[in-house]
Chain A
Amino acid sequence: MSRNLSVSFLKYISVRALIFIFTLLVSFSIIFLLLRLMPASIVDALLAGLSQSAQSITPEEYLKLRETLEEIFGLKGSLSELYVKYMYRFFTLDFGPSMIAFPTPVREIILNSLPWTAGLLSFSTIISWITGNMLGTLASFFERSHKNTSRVLQGVAVILYPIPYYIMALVLIFLFAYLIPIFPLAGAFISSSRFTFSLENIYLIIKASTLPALSMILVSALGWWFLSSRALTLNVLSEDYFLYAVIRGLDSGYMARKYVLKNILLPQTTALSLALGGIFNGALLTEIIFAYPGLGFILYKSVVSGDYSTAMGILSLSIIAVAAATFIIDIIYPLIDPRVRHK
């Protein structure tokens, strides 16, 4: 019996792993082809700059220069050659030198901006997950005894949830950087990517990250997490076993913990891990609005200026992270939820 189970589990994992790899390949190919569409060409931009500053370049020299630049940037070759080349880079996670900041390797650029993004997003994701779920569960669990509080929270959620975080960012900038200037305006803080560990620097970072973090926390904590945990809680509250628990006269704290929390944490944990997988995607617009030096900012800069390698590097990272998060959930889910069987 147990041998059967482990065989089916292995089969399940291997099928999932195959799907995982296949998904990676297909989404990589789509991104590869898509980036081919990028109208901006870094080589053209560089050459235009050169021909402006240099006195005269003969057409032959121009062509040669172009070829050399393309070779350095790894853009030379037919589509299929490039495809194989970038596929290799994708799986080794080494994307060669960047083009906007030549010759800094893409890997170094990513490693420099990753802490900013990961710090901001993991902090705001986790904080909003905790507060949103707590508020949502409590507000619906005690809906009958605290009618007004619950109603106010719901009203706030209904207004906040549909607002995109970047619109919220603009509202917050107006409120806390213009009307009551307690926080710095966008981009007024980080001078270089070199980070030295000092108290003053930490203070600056906190001050600079508060508004970006707040714009995301407000929307996702009081919006999505609040509403989804409320819906899940209401589902539990209308179940027969819960009614039975009420009739048995169980302690309401006990019911909240064992009946409600246990049931809502499962789907919410799944959602949290997916949200955390999306961290490498970066909060593109928040970072741009606040000129925050994270992955999203770099990604945007590289796409606009045609830096193929950097764009590819960041997009690959985000694809891998999301795919891996889904894969891990698929594997773990049957372990934490006995109702789901491996198929």
Chain B
Amino acid sequence: MKINLRYSIIIYRKITDIYSTSLKFKIGFLILLALIVVSTTFCLLAPMLAPPNYRSWYSLKKDLPPNLSSLNLILGTTTNGRSVFWALMHAIINSLIMASITALVASHIGLFLGMISGIKGGTVDRLLIFLIDVFIIIPGLPLLVVLTMSLKNVLTIPLLGLIISVIAWTWPARQVRAMVLSLREREHIYIARLSGMNSMNIILSEIFPHIVAWHLINFTNTVLFSISTEAGLAILGLSILSEDTLGTMIYWAQNYSALLRGKTWWIGSPIATLIILFVSLYLISTGLSEYVNPRLRYGVTR
């Protein structure tokens, strides 16, 4: 409990600090926040505003182009007679839920293994780095294809997030390990150790504060990775096709060849949303990296 609290405080302080110093982080964060707030609001209001069965097919006229007459039609309708707007709002939420599960699981596995590997060193370190190498060598997408295919019947959105973490933890682990290795030899760690601090306290108060920004970068990148991987799986028809996610929206649009029949509002909405989401997440991640590595900041060269 105490550790959890300290962990959260460190992360919260870091985020507010970065928010006030980095413009890129601020812009990305605000775009992401706006997307989340808008889609959550509409999802919560959906029972009141949406057509009775927004999920069911042919509840609206098919292939209507966008018009402003009602909220249902604001982004047009699909060929299977659904409102693109409501599908999109739920898709954003579902994709973000899935991605945050991947990010929570994978980036923390990475953080944990990376720290252990870096601090313990020796055989443990060698074993872990070997495991990471194996997972890097195995092609990721085919691995996910087989996994999702075999779990097709029980697939849910959280489970999909978990499956993607199977390949998403390696990069964070490498990153954290490298950081810990360079931190371990620094003087303040020696001093802490000599003055009788126990390992847990050293990790929490001497090592973790230096890693936390990297951890946040890994977290953001994993969110990005998870969303784009799900979209990739969905294009292959291997996501949860009965749920709305940004990927499955693209899948259904592709399935009815929306692109080639010029139903641009249908396939365009999830793609545009994905791009906005990716750019905002990436801005957050660069904002963080510039905070960690001031050399990357614009205009400070020389």
Residues of A within 8 A of B (CB): 19, 22-23, 26-27, 30-31, 34-35, 37-40, 140, 143-144, 154, 158-159, 161-164, 166-167, 170-171, 173-174, 177-178, 185, 231, 234-235, 237-238, 242-243, 246, 281, 284-285, 288-289, 299-300, 303-304, 311, 315, 318-319, 322-323, 326
Identify A37's interface contact among B146, B232, B274, B286, CB under 8 A.
Answer: B146
Q: Is the interface of B mostly helix, strand, loop or mixed?
A: helix
- Find the A residue at minimum CB distance from B227: A164
Is B85's beta carbon under 8 Å from chain A?
A: no
* Cβ proximity bits B280-291 to A, threshold 8 Å, 1 near / 0 not: 011100100000
Q: Separation in Å of the B140 CB from the closest CB of chain A?
A: 9
Binds A, one of B10-18, B67-75, B202-210, B257-265: B257-265
Please name the residue on chain A nearest to B280 by beta carbon: A162
Cross-chain pairs A/B with CB under 8 angstroms, 21 sampled: A27-B134, A37-B150, A39-B149, A39-B152, A40-B149, A140-B301, A158-B282, A158-B286, A162-B278, A163-B274, A164-B232, A170-B250, A170-B254, A242-B302, A243-B302, A288-B235, A299-B142, A300-B145, A315-B138, A315-B142, A318-B139
Contact B137 A170 (CB under 8 A): no
Q: How far is the CA of A39 from the CA of B147 in the complex (A)?
A: 10
When C-beta atoms are compared, the residue in chain A nearest to B294 turns out to be A238
Q: Are B142 and A284 in contact, with the CB atoms below 8 A?
A: yes
Distance A173 CA – B262 CA, assembled complex (angstroms): 12
A323 to B130, CA, bound (A): 12
The reply to whether B232 and A285 contact each other, CB–CB distance below 8 Å, is yes
- List A contacts of B296 (CB < 8 A): 231, 234
Instruction: Tell me the smallest distance from the CB of B57 to a CB of chain A, in Å.
Output: 23
8 Å CB interface, B220-264 against A: 224, 228, 231-232, 235-236, 250, 254, 259-260, 262, 264
Contact A174 B138 (CB under 8 A): no
Cβ contacts under 8 Å, B298 to chain A: 154
Instruction: Answer whether A234 and B137 are a contact pair too, CB < 8 Å, given A166-B231, A166-B232.
Output: no
B301:A300 contact, CB within 8 angstroms: no
Of the residues A177, A178, A238, contact of B301 by C-beta under 8 Å: A238
The reply to whether B231 and A167 contact each other, CB–CB distance below 8 Å, is yes
Partner of A174, one of B136, B150, B236, B264: B264
User: Looking across the interface, which residue of chain A has its beta carbon closest to that of B152?
Assistant: A39
Picked from A37, A161, A163, A231, the residue with its CB within 8 Å of the CB of B147 is A37
Residues of A contacting B300 in the complex (Cβ-Cβ under 8 angstroms):
238
Question: Do A34 and B301 have beta carbons less than 8 Å apart?
Answer: no
Q: Which residues of B contact A (CB under 8 A)?
A: 130, 133-134, 136-139, 141-143, 145-147, 149-150, 152, 224, 228, 231-232, 235-236, 250, 254, 259-260, 262, 264, 267, 271, 274-275, 278-279, 281-283, 286, 295-296, 298, 300-302
Task: Please judge, given known A-B contacts A163-B278, A238-B301, whether A170 and B150 are in contact too, CB under 8 Å.
Answer: no
Residue of A nearest to B140 (CB): A281
> Is the CB–CB distance between B231 and A178 below 8 Å?
no
Closest to A39 in B: B150
Given A159-B279, A164-B232, A300-B236, 13 more pairs with CB closer than 8 A? A23-B133, A27-B137, A35-B146, A38-B149, A39-B150, A154-B298, A158-B286, A159-B275, A170-B267, A170-B271, A174-B259, A303-B149, A319-B139
Contacts of B130 in A (CB 8 A): 19, 22-23, 26
Q: Report if A185-B224 is in contact (Cβ < 8 Å); known contacts: A23-B130, A38-B149.
A: no
A180 to B267, CA, bound (A): 18
Which residues does chain B contribute within 8 Å of A185, judged by CB atoms? 260
How far is B167's CA from A27's CA once the two chains are assembled, in angstroms? 13
Given contacts A166-B231, A173-B259, A174-B264, contact A30 B138 (CB under 8 A): yes
> Which residues in B have their C-beta under 8 angstroms from that of A234?
295-296, 301
Inter-chain contacts of B250 with A (CB < 8 A): 170
Q: Min CB distance, A248 to chain B, in Å?
A: 14
Query: Would B139 and A164 count as touching, CB distance under 8 A?
Result: no
CB of A143 within 8 A of CB of B283, answer no
Question: Closest B-chain residue to A24, C-beta based?
Answer: B137
Closest to A227 in B: B286
In the bound complex, residues from chain B placing their C-beta under 8 Å from that of A289 are 235
Q: Are A167 and B260 closer than 8 Å at their CB atoms? A: no
Please state if A31 and B138 are interface contacts (CB–CB under 8 Å): yes
- Closest 7 pairs between A and B when the two form their complex, measured CB to CB: A162-B278, A162-B282, A164-B228, A37-B150, A281-B139, A237-B301, A322-B137
Measured CB to CB, the closest approach of chain B to A75, in angstroms, equals 16
A170 to B259, CA, bound (A): 8
**Chain B residue, CB-CB nearest to A302:** B142
Q: Could you tell me the distance between the alpha carbons of A281 and B136 in the complex, rounded to whole angstroms?
A: 12
